[in-house]
Structure 1
Amino acid sequence: MTSARRSNPLRQLRASDLRGVARLATQATAGASRVAEGVHQSVLGTLGLPEGAEPGQARGLTGLVYQSIRGVTRLVDAGLQAGLSRLEPFWTPTDTGATAPVQWEREAVLAALNGVLGDRLARDHNPLCTAMGWYRQGLPLDPSALAASGTATGKVLVMVHGLCMNDLQWRHHGHDHGDYLARTLGYTPVYLRYNTGLHTSTNGATLSAQLEALVAAWPVPVTELSVLAHSMGGLVARSACQHAATQSAPPSRWLPLLRHLVFLGTPHHGAPLERAGHWVDALLGSTPFSRPFARLAQLRSAGITDLRYGHVLDADWLGRHRFRKSPDQRIPVPLPQGVASYAVAAALAARRSPAAERLVGDGLVPLHSALGVHDDGRRTLGFPRHRQAVFYRLGHLGLLGDLGVARQLEQWLGSE
């Protein structure tokens, strides 16, 4: 593990990575030309000169120049994709499967990229796009290997990471909650890896299907299923539960096995930083000269904009403009029935600073949002007091490596 961390990141590149980066570069070139054309046309508009065929387009020779730039960019992209595709068979890693080294740096970069642009990567079929799957120790889960080693138990702990992260980042400062609960309570942890740039409801539906497949393929009968979710992962887990509970046929096999659902710093009612990004959209769109630059602010993914209010259903976003100012129109979704649900929140402030707790929270998620508390009683999730825990002088990522949090998880999961 240490040697993998210290390896040269350039050695971790694949031919498909270069093809994906080339696609992003050509798309960025085309996008920059549209921004420049929009600014150009805004200036011409102040002189009373007409626009082109569409708003923000220049006309005449100027418009032709911008169209030519984008046309050449498309040709370059097609050439690069074709050429690099032919190279891929000759630059395929020979050490794949269970013996492959874990490429920490590459996976961290891909996780961040998918968080910011994941919906675009999926739409463009970019090879940098992350597919949802199960992992252990950074490698794809192999149920047959678990069966052969005798390490699979009937108690399965599903670990769901947050925005711009991956399964490897559950290990924080040398600590992994999954490993800890495996030692203390006999769980077998499995780690989800997914594209956090997709809508949370899209990931929730896929997670439900993945859990069905996991339960079916598990080498021993599953007696207990528990989910530990960090940050956005909690919204994805709630969405999966709701999807499984409302699906018509066949009935879910995994949901009746779900015993515990633990949320670590989940923005059940949204995160202020996404709302700040929403205000950036509004400010950039307030004048003709800055309006073209709104394209840059609107590059952030569907997964990020879902964090504005904490979306968990398709109905929360379908038919609505992601970047248009609007009130919270979510459909209230309660916690799953018959499942012991727990909320862990963190606050950077000391216990004696109630205002800082509410306003700052863990640096990303306010305290009330992490605890599921809302001014509208219909939206309050209603975690019982004995299933809530607040840790002070601790940040959002600190929840992953704190031993006090681990002991609280052990107490909860071991006693109920």
Structure 2
Amino acid sequence: MRTDEVAGVARLAGTALRGGTRRIAELHQGIADRAFAAVGPVAQPVKVVHDAVAALSYAGVRTGLGAGAWAAGTAAALRADGTDLDAVRAGRVAQAILNGAHGDLLRSEAPSLALDMTVRVAGRAVPVERDALRAAFPDGTDRIAVFVHGLTETEASWCYGAGRRGEPGSTFGARLRADLGLTPVYLRYNTGLHISDNGRALDDLLAALVDAWPVDVADVVLIGHSMGGLVARSALHRAGGGTEEAHGWTRLVRDTVTLGTPHLGAPLERAVHRLAGRLARLPETRPLARLLSLRSVGIKDLRRGTLVEGDWTDRDLDALTPGPHTSVPLHDGARHFVVLATLSRNPSGRLADLLGDLLVPPRSACGDTGDDDRLAFPPDHVHRLGGLNHFDLLNHPRVYERIRAWLVDRPEGPRPAQP
């Protein structure tokens, strides 16, 4: 690891240890308060002594753990070999999970560990500059397929399951290149940030990418898995897709494909939110609620599929009362497709609706609100696959065959001019 990465891990460890000790102290205090209250006023002198001793003890533990983390980090930094954390697979996976779980905290407390949105080739970040892109994509075509991964994932996630099927080099991107001449462009980003913040970053990156691409771009396809589909929608919305003031790259987007994207939100995040609210009602369990509230803002955005900055600015994201939610329509001027999976082999049955793909139910994946705000996916643009889970959608032959069929069967017409 690099010295700054080691220092970042040490700061994060110190923060976690101090915070964990504080939560334990709060839990202890909540239980003690109830016990002393049950005894009555006669226990007040004992309570005063107890509270003072407990506060002093926990303060000492917090200080000791924080100092220990700092000392360990300082010693480790002296032995740092300068290798990037993401130079090895385990480091990339750990960083992606850490960013997904606490990406907003990383940005403020340990920025060396926080990811920026970057184009990746063979695990390495590629500057969005013409010479760098020409070197990284020597055979780049005028058609680009941009792959946006989901929560806690990386660009390597698009290889999911390939080894088990005996096709380690096979991905959607490689197949689209061979079959349709689309150049795959894989991104990596901090999935713990607000979806709208990542949408802004994607807007900026695609504008720069189209401008610096080695050849004039005629066609862009956006493919997003899970949260990635929401980030793509947020970027198109922010860029004003379908309006006269739209950013130039949006006019090149002919097709979007979302794979298991929670357009209407994720039930698991809603369940955690409700659990935290119930735990917060009692002093004994309030520290546990505070621990749950530490999950990243990116995860909290999945509660309702929040795409717009105004829906979270100056709001308490842990409040039980729902705030405003902006309904964002699909980008006008492109075709939009959905592939959703169900654990049940019958994707149209009741069990499929109940279990979904393990994380996202079918109605959320296809944006079916049941009212006028439903997303306007034509019925033949929604494909249901039974017997698969959420992560199978990253790289499964049945998913690819449907994507390929949609992209092959596209209406002929003049391609948009380069902006």
Q: Same fold (TM over 0.5)?
A: yes
Q: What's 1:403 paired with?
A: 397
Q: By how many angstroms is 1:119 displaced?
A: 1.2
2:408 matches 1:414: yes
TM-score, with normalisation over the residues of structure 2?
0.85
Q: Is the 8 A contact 2:21 2:62 kept in 1?
A: yes
**Distance (Å, rounded) in 1 between the aligned partners of 2:321 and 2:211:** 42
Q: What's 1:393 paired with?
A: 387
SS in 1 for 2:150: coil
Q: Is the 8 A contact 1:33 1:66 kept in 2?
A: yes
SS in 1 for 2:248: coil
**Distance (Å, rounded) in 1 between the aligned partners of 2:96 and 2:371:** 35
Note the 1:12-27 alignment, pairs <5 A.
13-27=1-15
Q: What's 1:280 paired with?
A: 275
**Distance (Å, rounded) in 2 between the aligned partners of 1:315 and 1:60:** 44
Q: By how many angstroms is 1:406 displaced?
A: 0.7
SS in 2 for 1:263: strand
Q: By how many angstroms is 1:14 displaced?
A: 4.5
SS in 1 for 2:247: coil
**Distance (Å, rounded) in 2 between the aligned partners of 1:304 and 1:68:** 33
**Distance (Å, rounded) in 1 between the aligned partners of 2:86 and 2:152:** 22
Q: Is the 8 A contact 1:197 1:301 kept in 2?
A: yes
How many residue pairs get aligned? The number is: 389
Q: By how many angstroms is 1:356 displaced?
A: 1.3
The equivalent position to 1:225 in structure 2, one of 220, 223, 239, is: 220
SS in 2 for 1:362: coil
* Unmatched 5+ stretches in structure 1: 1-12, 51-57
Q: Is the 8 A contact 1:104 1:168 kept in 2?
A: no
Q: By how many angstroms is 1:355 displaced?
A: 1.0
The equivalent position to 1:92 in structure 2, one of 82, 87, 102, is: 82
Q: By how many angstroms is 1:18 displaced?
A: 3.0
Q: What's 1:123 paired with?
A: 108
Q: Quick one: which amino acid aligns to residue 131 of structure 2?
A: S
* CA deviation profile, 1:43-62 (whole Å, cap 9, x unmatched): 34332599xxxxxxx96443
The equivalent position to 1:67 in structure 2, one of 55, 59, 65, is: 59
**Distance (Å, rounded) in 2 between the aligned partners of 1:223 and 1:230:** 24
Q: By how many angstroms is 1:36 displaced?
A: 2.1
Q: By how many angstroms is 1:357 displaced?
A: 1.9
Note the 1:9-408 alignment, pairs <5 A.
13-46=1-34, 47-48=36-37, 60-76=52-68, 88=80, 91-93=81-83, 103-141=88-126, 143-144=130-131, 146-147=133-134, 150-174=138-162, 175-245=170-240, 252-327=247-322, 329-351=324-346, 354-378=349-373, 380-408=374-402
**Distance (Å, rounded) in 1 between the aligned partners of 2:153 and 2:124:** 15
Q: Quick one: which amino acid aligns to residue 56 of structure 2?
A: L
Q: Is the 8 A contact 2:340 2:383 kept in 1?
A: yes
* CA deviation profile, 1:54-104 (whole Å, cap 9, x unmatched): xxxx9644323433443444555555556655655xx223xx8xxx99522
Cα distance, 1:333–1:158 mapped onto 2, change above 3 Å: same
Q: By how many angstroms is 1:272 displaced?
A: 0.8
Cα distance, 1:247–1:335 mapped onto 2, change above 3 Å: closer
Q: Quick one: which amino acid aligns to residue 408 of structure 2?
A: G
Q: Is the 8 A contact 1:309 1:328 kept in 2?
A: no
* CA deviation profile, 1:286-322 (whole Å, cap 9, x unmatched): 3221112222212211111111111111122222222
SS in 1 for 2:376: coil
**Distance (Å, rounded) in 1 between the aligned partners of 2:198 and 2:12:** 23
* CA deviation profile, 1:159-218 (whole Å, cap 9, x unmatched): 000011000111122231111111111011111100111111111111111111111211
**Distance (Å, rounded) in 2 between the aligned partners of 1:183 and 1:141:** 23
Q: Is the 8 A contact 1:16 1:84 kept in 2?
A: no
**Distance (Å, rounded) in 1 between the aligned partners of 2:199 and 2:326:** 16
Q: Quick one: which amino acid aligns to residue 33 of structure 1?
A: T
Q: Quick one: which amino acid aligns to residue 379 of structure 2?
A: R
SS in 2 for 1:254: helix
Cα distance, 1:272–1:73 mapped onto 2, change above 3 Å: same
Q: By how many angstroms is 1:260 displaced?
A: 1.0
**Distance (Å, rounded) in 2 between the aligned partners of 1:197 and 1:59:** 37
Q: Quick one: which amino acid aligns to residue 94 of structure 2?
A: V
* CA deviation profile, 1:114-139 (whole Å, cap 9, x unmatched): 11111111121342222210012322
**Distance (Å, rounded) in 2 between the aligned partners of 1:330 and 1:287:** 29
SS in 1 for 2:141: coil
**Distance (Å, rounded) in 1 between the aligned partners of 2:231 and 2:348:** 31
**Distance (Å, rounded) in 1 between the aligned partners of 2:296 and 2:290:** 12
* Unmatched 5+ stretches in structure 2: 42-49, 163-169, 411-419
SS in 1 for 2:239: helix
Q: Quick one: which amino acid aligns to residue 26 of structure 1?
A: G
Q: Is the 8 A contact 1:120 1:301 kept in 2?
A: yes
Q: Is the 8 A contact 1:349 1:393 kept in 2?
A: yes
Q: By how many angstroms is 1:366 displaced?
A: 0.3
Q: By how many angstroms is 1:24 displaced?
A: 2.4
Q: Quick one: which amino acid aligns to residue 6 of structure 2?
A: L
Q: Is the 8 A contact 1:262 1:342 kept in 2?
A: yes
